[in-house]
Structure 1
Amino acid sequence: MTRQAFTSMPPAQQAGILCNDPHFREYVGRHCLGLKWPVSDSAAAHYLRDLCRIASRRELNTDDAARRRFEALRTDFDAWAGRLARPQGR
Protein backbone atom coordinates (compact mmCIF):
# COMPACT_ATOMS: atom_id res chain seq x y z
CA MET A 1 0.00 0.00 0.00
CA THR A 2 1.48 3.36 -1.03
CA ARG A 3 1.08 6.45 1.07
CA GLN A 4 -0.28 9.62 -0.47
CA ALA A 5 2.15 12.55 -0.46
CA PHE A 6 1.16 15.25 2.02
CA THR A 7 1.28 17.96 -0.65
CA SER A 8 -1.13 16.04 -2.89
CA MET A 9 -3.78 15.78 -0.16
CA PRO A 10 -6.73 18.19 -0.06
CA PRO A 11 -6.07 21.21 2.20
CA ALA A 12 -8.64 20.08 4.78
CA GLN A 13 -6.83 16.76 5.17
CA GLN A 14 -3.47 18.53 5.44
CA ALA A 15 -4.92 20.79 8.15
CA GLY A 16 -6.19 17.80 10.11
CA ILE A 17 -2.79 16.14 9.99
CA LEU A 18 -0.98 19.35 10.97
CA CYS A 19 -3.18 19.97 14.00
CA ASN A 20 -2.18 16.54 15.33
CA ASP A 21 1.54 17.12 14.63
CA PRO A 22 3.47 17.86 17.85
CA HIS A 23 5.83 20.24 16.00
CA PHE A 24 2.93 22.22 14.56
CA ARG A 25 1.30 22.39 18.00
CA GLU A 26 4.59 23.71 19.41
CA TYR A 27 4.77 26.28 16.58
CA VAL A 28 1.23 27.48 17.33
CA GLY A 29 1.84 27.67 21.07
CA ARG A 30 5.28 29.21 21.11
CA HIS A 31 5.59 31.15 17.87
CA CYS A 32 2.02 32.24 17.21
CA LEU A 33 0.54 32.61 20.68
CA GLY A 34 3.69 33.42 22.66
CA LEU A 35 3.22 30.60 25.15
CA LYS A 36 6.02 28.62 26.75
CA TRP A 37 4.50 25.28 25.74
CA PRO A 38 2.78 23.57 22.81
CA VAL A 39 -1.00 23.71 22.55
CA SER A 40 -3.40 20.76 22.32
CA ASP A 41 -4.59 19.41 18.98
CA SER A 42 -8.01 21.02 19.51
CA ALA A 43 -6.40 24.39 20.36
CA ALA A 44 -4.25 24.15 17.20
CA ALA A 45 -7.39 23.43 15.15
CA HIS A 46 -9.17 26.38 16.76
CA TYR A 47 -6.21 28.67 15.98
CA LEU A 48 -6.11 27.44 12.38
CA ARG A 49 -9.86 28.02 11.89
CA ASP A 50 -9.61 31.51 13.40
CA LEU A 51 -6.60 32.45 11.30
CA CYS A 52 -8.18 31.14 8.10
CA ARG A 53 -11.56 32.69 9.02
CA ILE A 54 -13.51 29.46 8.64
CA ALA A 55 -15.93 27.48 10.78
CA SER A 56 -14.71 24.08 9.57
CA ARG A 57 -11.45 22.86 8.05
CA ARG A 58 -13.51 21.40 5.19
CA GLU A 59 -13.95 24.97 3.93
CA LEU A 60 -10.26 24.98 2.99
CA ASN A 61 -11.21 22.76 0.04
CA THR A 62 -13.68 25.30 -1.39
CA ASP A 63 -12.80 28.79 -0.09
CA ASP A 64 -9.90 30.21 -2.11
CA ALA A 65 -9.13 33.04 0.35
CA ALA A 66 -9.08 30.62 3.29
CA ARG A 67 -6.87 28.23 1.34
CA ARG A 68 -4.37 31.04 0.62
CA ARG A 69 -4.27 31.94 4.33
CA PHE A 70 -3.70 28.25 5.15
CA GLU A 71 -0.89 28.03 2.58
CA ALA A 72 0.75 31.12 4.13
CA LEU A 73 0.47 29.49 7.57
CA ARG A 74 2.04 26.29 6.24
CA THR A 75 4.89 28.27 4.66
CA ASP A 76 5.54 30.14 7.90
CA PHE A 77 5.46 26.86 9.85
CA ASP A 78 7.86 25.21 7.38
CA ALA A 79 10.24 28.17 7.71
CA TRP A 80 10.01 28.07 11.52
CA ALA A 81 10.65 24.31 11.48
CA GLY A 82 13.72 24.76 9.23
CA ARG A 83 12.15 22.93 6.30
CA LEU A 84 12.73 25.80 3.89
CA ALA A 85 16.13 26.93 2.71
CA ARG A 86 17.12 30.34 4.00
CA PRO A 87 18.41 32.94 1.51
CA GLN A 88 22.21 33.24 1.45
CA GLY A 89 23.81 36.52 2.45
CA ARG A 90 20.85 37.98 4.31
Structure 2
Amino acid sequence: MTRLADMPQATQAGILCNDPNFQKFAATKSGFRGGQFTTQAAAEYLRTTCHIKSRRDLNTDADAQTKFAALRTDFDAWTGKIANQR
Protein backbone atom coordinates (compact mmCIF):
# COMPACT_ATOMS: atom_id res chain seq x y z
CA MET A 1 0.00 0.00 0.00
CA THR A 2 1.32 3.43 -0.96
CA ARG A 3 1.86 5.88 1.89
CA LEU A 4 0.18 9.27 1.61
CA ALA A 5 3.54 11.05 1.69
CA ASP A 6 4.70 9.01 -1.32
CA MET A 7 1.75 10.03 -3.51
CA PRO A 8 1.75 13.05 -5.85
CA GLN A 9 0.82 16.19 -3.92
CA ALA A 10 -2.39 16.70 -5.90
CA THR A 11 -3.49 13.20 -4.84
CA GLN A 12 -2.55 13.95 -1.24
CA ALA A 13 -4.60 17.14 -1.38
CA GLY A 14 -7.64 15.29 -2.73
CA ILE A 15 -7.42 12.72 0.04
CA LEU A 16 -7.00 15.41 2.70
CA CYS A 17 -10.04 17.33 1.51
CA ASN A 18 -12.14 14.19 1.98
CA ASP A 19 -10.81 13.68 5.51
CA PRO A 20 -13.33 14.83 8.17
CA ASN A 21 -10.44 15.89 10.44
CA PHE A 22 -9.00 18.11 7.70
CA GLN A 23 -12.47 19.54 7.09
CA LYS A 24 -12.68 20.47 10.79
CA PHE A 25 -9.14 21.89 10.67
CA ALA A 26 -9.95 24.03 7.62
CA ALA A 27 -13.17 25.27 9.23
CA THR A 28 -11.35 26.13 12.46
CA LYS A 29 -8.55 27.94 10.61
CA SER A 30 -11.21 29.88 8.68
CA GLY A 31 -12.89 31.05 11.87
CA PHE A 32 -15.72 28.49 12.02
CA ARG A 33 -14.80 27.13 15.43
CA GLY A 34 -16.67 23.94 16.19
CA GLY A 35 -17.88 23.72 12.60
CA GLN A 36 -16.99 21.41 9.79
CA PHE A 37 -16.46 22.16 6.13
CA THR A 38 -17.74 20.05 3.29
CA THR A 39 -15.25 18.40 0.95
CA GLN A 40 -15.74 21.27 -1.50
CA ALA A 41 -15.19 23.95 1.15
CA ALA A 42 -12.05 22.17 2.37
CA ALA A 43 -10.77 22.08 -1.22
CA GLU A 44 -11.44 25.81 -1.59
CA TYR A 45 -9.57 26.45 1.68
CA LEU A 46 -6.62 24.42 0.37
CA ARG A 47 -6.60 26.22 -3.00
CA THR A 48 -6.77 29.61 -1.27
CA THR A 49 -4.05 28.73 1.23
CA CYS A 50 -1.73 27.38 -1.46
CA HIS A 51 -2.57 30.16 -3.96
CA ILE A 52 -3.59 27.76 -6.72
CA LYS A 53 -6.56 27.41 -9.07
CA SER A 54 -6.52 23.61 -9.11
CA ARG A 55 -5.06 20.96 -6.83
CA ARG A 56 -3.24 19.65 -9.93
CA ASP A 57 -1.06 22.77 -9.71
CA LEU A 58 0.56 21.19 -6.64
CA ASN A 59 2.34 18.72 -8.92
CA THR A 60 4.21 21.44 -10.84
CA ASP A 61 4.25 24.73 -8.86
CA ALA A 62 7.21 24.83 -6.45
CA ASP A 63 5.80 27.76 -4.45
CA ALA A 64 2.47 25.95 -4.04
CA GLN A 65 4.33 22.79 -2.99
CA THR A 66 6.08 24.75 -0.24
CA LYS A 67 2.77 26.20 0.94
CA PHE A 68 1.16 22.75 0.87
CA ALA A 69 4.00 21.26 2.92
CA ALA A 70 3.51 24.02 5.51
CA LEU A 71 -0.24 23.37 5.51
CA ARG A 72 0.33 19.64 6.04
CA THR A 73 2.69 20.40 8.93
CA ASP A 74 0.14 22.77 10.48
CA PHE A 75 -2.57 20.12 10.09
CA ASP A 76 -0.36 17.39 11.58
CA ALA A 77 0.38 19.65 14.56
CA TRP A 78 -3.32 20.48 14.94
CA THR A 79 -4.23 16.78 15.05
CA GLY A 80 -1.40 16.02 17.48
CA LYS A 81 0.42 13.82 14.98
CA ILE A 82 3.50 16.01 15.52
CA ALA A 83 4.39 18.43 18.30
CA ASN A 84 3.37 22.07 17.93
CA GLN A 85 6.17 24.52 17.30
CA ARG A 86 6.76 27.01 20.07
TM-score range, shorter chain: over 0.9
Equivalent pairs counted in the alignment come to: 85
Q: In the alignment, what sits opposite 1:77?
A: 75
TM-score, length basis structure 1: 0.89
Q: In the alignment, what sits opposite 1:21?
A: 19
Deviation at 1:86, TM superposition (A): 4.9
Deviation at 1:84, TM superposition (A): 0.3
**3-state SS of paired residue (1:83):** coil
Q: Which runs of 5+ in 1 are unaligned?
A: none
Paired letter, 2:71: L
Q: Which runs of 5+ in 2 are unaligned?
A: none
* Structural RMSD (CA): 1.3
TM-score, length basis structure 2: 0.93
Deviation at 1:85, TM superposition (A): 3.2
Q: Displaced runs of 4+ in structure 1, greater than 6 A?
A: none
Q: Note if 1:41 corresponds to 2:42.
A: no
| Residues 32-66 of structure 1: CA deviation (Å, up to 9, x unaligned) | 11113110000000010011111100000000000
**Structure of greater Rg:** 1
| Residue pair 2:17, 2:23 contacting (<8 A) in 1 also | yes
Q: In the alignment, what sits opposite 1:7?
A: 5
State the percentage of identical aligned residues.
Answer: 51
